[in-house]
């Protein structure tokens, strides 16, 4: 599973999906996660409704985690087969919470 996290500095999930100027990408296998890359996005910080652009940049991801996201972004993500999750905090803690939740829901 590949997860993108909306982070301004690579350490903390702290960005709204539509304002995600950068994403950190991790691959998750079993209960381990490995850093893949940081993606810088050409997002206008003052413009609204850019969640669709972020989703397009994550077409190789299964999950995008951001602090918040809008209804239109949720629909676009579902159409693209991507799950949106709202969470915030240190990247590794957010990843672990998602993995724990995923494992619980699939056990």
Residue 32: CATH number of its domain? 3.30.420.130
Domain count, the chain: 1
> What percentage of residues in the chain have a pLDDT greater than 90?
89
> What percentage of residues in the chain have a pLDDT greater than 70?
100
Helical ranges in 22-90 per DSSP H: 51-57, 71-80
75: confidence class by pLDDT, cuts 50, 70, 90: very high
User: Is pLDDT larger for residue 41 or for residue 45?
Assistant: 41
CA–CA separation, 6 vs 63, rounded Å?
11
Environment class of residue 87 by beta-carbon count within 10 Å: exposed (0-12), middle (13-18) or buried (19+)?
A: middle
Q: Three-class SS of residue 10?
A: coil
Q: Where in the sequence is the domain holding 9, given as residue range(s)?
A: 2-105
Residue 44: its pLDDT value, please? 79
> What's the rounded mean pLDDT across residues 94-98?
97
Cβ neighbours for 82, distance < 8 A, ≥ 6 positions apart: 55, 58, 59, 61, 62, 63, 64
22: confidence class by pLDDT, cuts 50, 70, 90: very high
98: confidence class by pLDDT, cuts 50, 70, 90: very high
Reply yes or no on whether the pLDDT at 45 is more than 80: no
């Amino acid at each position: 599973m590949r997860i993108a996290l909306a982070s301004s500095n690579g350490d903390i999930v702290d960005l709204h999906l539509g304002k995600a100027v950068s994403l950190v990408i991790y691959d998750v296998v079993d209960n381990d996660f490995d850093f893949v890359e940081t993606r810088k996005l050409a997002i206008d910080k003052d413009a609204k409704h850019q969640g669709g652009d972020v989703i397009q940049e994550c077409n190789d991801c299964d999950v995008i985690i951001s602090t918040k996201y809008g209804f239109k972004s949720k629909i676009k993500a579902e159409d693209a087969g991507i799950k949106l999750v709202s969470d915030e905090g240190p990247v590794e803690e957010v990843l672990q919470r998602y993995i724990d939740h995923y494992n619980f829901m699939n056990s």
